[in-house]
Amino acid sequence: MAGFKTTRKSIDSFFEQKHIAVAGVSRNKKKFGSIIYKTLEEKGFTLYPVNPNMETYEGRTCYATLDDLPNEVTALVINTKPDVTKDLVSKAQARGIAHIWLQQGSADKATLNELDGTNVIGKECLLMFAEPVKGIHGFHRWLKKSFGSLPQ
């Protein structure tokens, strides 16, 4: 992973975006993509669910592909399997979506190595940075900070 590093600046820049697509939402509310969606919604972001197997999600249009998203989408959270993630990253970059958060476990090393020119956050849990951070995610963030592994 030559050169790939998540920074606090990249995280802050991601959260400055107001229109965020969430790939990997699920009918199962306990799946991480759905939890991320709900958390960001509670924090006031305008969200666009992405799942090719659903027409609606939480009463909103669910987009089958990134090509179907409105132009105002400037950020993407990906919570899919690595083989799906690689294609999503390519399509997002082709569309000009410059802020991409690869939730832990969604990307392999090869995908991370191909992320030039994009504000990409990887190997970090979005829920540890979506302010205000509460509960277990706040504790995990405190631990990472205490051990010096929180992005600087």
- CATH number for the domain whose boundaries are 8-146: 3.40.50.720
Tell me the DSSP string of 22-55: EET--SSTTSHHHHHHHHHHHTT-EEEEE-TT-S
User: So where are the chain's domains?
Assistant: 8-146
CA distances from 124 to 32, 73, 77 (A): 13, 22, 12
pLDDT digits (tens, 9 = 90+) for 9-52: 999 999 999 999 999 999 999 999 999 999 999 999 999 999 99
pLDDT in tens, the chain (152 residues): 444 678 899 999 999 999 999 999 999 999 999 999 999 999 999 999 999 999 999 999 999 999 999 999 999 999 999 999 989 998 998 999 989 999 988 988 877 777 766 688 988 899 999 998 888 888 888 888 888 888 88
